[in-house]
Structure 1
Amino acid sequence: MSNKTKLPVGQEAIEEFGWMYAHRFLLLRRATQFFFLAIFLLGPWFGIWWFKGNLSGSMTFNFLPLNDPFITVQSFAALHWPETTALIGAVIVGVIYALIGGRVYCSWVCPINPVTDGAHWIHEKLGMQKGWQPKHNTRYWILAMVVAVSAATGTIAWEFVNPISMLHRGLIFGMGFAWAFVVAVFLFDIFVSRRGWCGHLCPVGTFYGLLGTKSVVRISAVKRSECDDCMDCFAVCPEMHVISPALRGKDEDTALILSPDCTNCGRCIDVCAMDVFKFTHRFDDTPAPGRVQRTRTQPATGASKAA
């Protein structure tokens, strides 16, 4: 394997394009996450009530309802018929995420994402093993359990322990018990399971993944023939299993990342010095030749990046 793989993850892209360009989607994500959190704090902090509510349900400029469709599903399970405005808001949000990719919510909107990304950074700096990794279908069992508990108790069950809502409440009302849930997620991802919360357990992300199964916005390994096996894309991807089918496919295989687990975070685009990946749409039929096999002398080095 080439000496490039001995560089820190993303370093080759930084040297090729510059630091800002090699972090452009990460920076955009942090900006959007801060924006969506800040707009709901304008009212409680500054008395500017343009946006009333939070990510679970809100009224924008007193006329546009926006509601989490996962909340609505739990409401139906609990046999509570939502108000018309709540239903309209859920449909609006549901259609948007069905088109752009359900788990875009996880990487571009959810305020817990910076918390888990920070935990992952610490996990890597400490050189820790990936720890307990629940089976892939665990997330679906948790989602089903949340809906079942809502049906059994007649409540919106997840909101009692939802760290997203807890973080919002903590920022408004100050430090308190609500922060315990956020800290628990942070510590879980550091010491128990690498990327465990968002990648394996969170029912909100699982729901949005199902919602965006046929979404239009996709990432494509359109220049996969240029891949030099540096493994940086695997190292930064929160759902690294989604990359292989697109990157390592044959000529007749699509270069599109079609798995609903993909969060469309764009980090694979950021760190690729070979410019293999790009944002596109699911109907993009641009030919993408299969990878050219290259001779490597140190295959274990790159593999360690994705470990």
Structure 2
Amino acid sequence: MKKKSSGIYTLRIIIEIVFLGLFEILFFRGSIQLWLAVFVAGALLSLFFGRIYCGYICPMNTLFRPIAWTRKKLGIDPLKTPGFLKYPAFRFLCIGLFFGSMLITKRMGIKLPLPGIITGISVLFVLFFEETLWHNGVCPYGTILSFSSRFAKKGMAVDESVCVSCGKCQKPCPANAIDTLDTRKRRIRKPDCLVCLSCAEVCSVKAIRYK
């Protein structure tokens, strides 16, 4: 089981590096707007397979890993998320600003590399705040995918008959998408889950699967 998990983890890293490379090529060629086509494809896939764009394709999520590693090595703790930033209204405000910026710049004939700008903002943001706030609060792409993935037939799920209520799966989850039930068992919120498999990798009883 460890070899299988390790193989999946390695495959995920390879996929992330490939798409990060594609993102950088588009950025330096001045064609970053083409990345929106990649996102649209990810949004369509999320209708069936969940937020795989977030877990495997998104360049921001790929960059978060070395940032988290560096922060851990330096002993820097992220700032606690202010309470008002957890309200759904803040999420809609962020996505409103995103689309508003797109419309304004288009009307003014200004070509802004919005995917590149958002990636830069995300890196600065995660340097100071908890990663989950970006995934399920600030990121406009994440907000869109959280709605489309509600219809997904597939996703990460906890087999409650196998779960031993240890809670190990909650710590590595970058989106804080795992709830504790009254029975002390765990359940994954599909709209917030990034399908990154981090929870499955640490589950000692293999109660978490993508199905």
TM over 0.5: yes
Number of residue pairs aligned between Structure 1 and Structure 2 = 202
**Within 1, Cα distance between the matches of 2:6 and 2:108?**
38
Matching residue's letter, 1:239 = A
Query: Where does residue 194 of structure 1 map in the other structure?
Result: 130
- The one-letter code of the counterpart of 2:116 is S
> Which residue matches 1:243?
178
Q: Deviations over 1:164-221 (max 9, x none)?
A: 4369xxxxxxxxxxxxx63x5334323x202143343111121122221211111111
Q: Deviations over 1:208-263 (max 9, x none)?
A: 2222121111111114544251x3311100122x2115xx3659x9x763431111
Percentage of identical aligned residues: 19
The structure with the larger Rg is 1
Task: Tell me the residue number matched to 1:207.
Answer: 144
- Do the aligned partners of 2:49 and 2:152 also contact (CA within 8 Å) in 1? yes
Q: How far apart, in 2, do the equivalents of 1:94 and 1:156 lie?
A: 28
SS in 1 for 2:171: helix
Q: Secondary structure of the residue that 2:150 maps to in structure 1?
A: coil
Identify unmatched segments of 5+ residues in structure 2: none
Contact 1:212 1:260 in 2 (8 A): yes
Distance 1:35 1:129, change over 3 A: closer
How far apart, in 2, do the equivalents of 1:145 and 1:223 lie?
Answer: 40
* Match status 1:110 vs 2:41: no
Question: Larger % of helix: which?
Answer: 2
What is aligned with 2:44?
Answer: 95
The 5 Å alignment of 1:41-120 reads 54-57=34-37, 68-69=39-40, 94-101=43-50, 103-120=51-68
Distance 1:156 1:144, change over 3 A: farther
Structure 2 match to 1:12: none
Q: TM-score, normalised by structure 2?
A: 0.75
Q: Secondary structure at the match of 1:261?
A: coil
Which residue of structure 2 aligns with residue 33 of structure 1? 16
Check 1:216–1:250 CA distance in 2 against 1; reply closer, same or farther (3 A cut): same
Cα RMSD for the two superposed structures: 3.7
Distance 1:41 1:118 in 2: 17
Matched to 2:36, the amino acid is: S
CA distance in 1, matches of 2:138, 2:48: 24
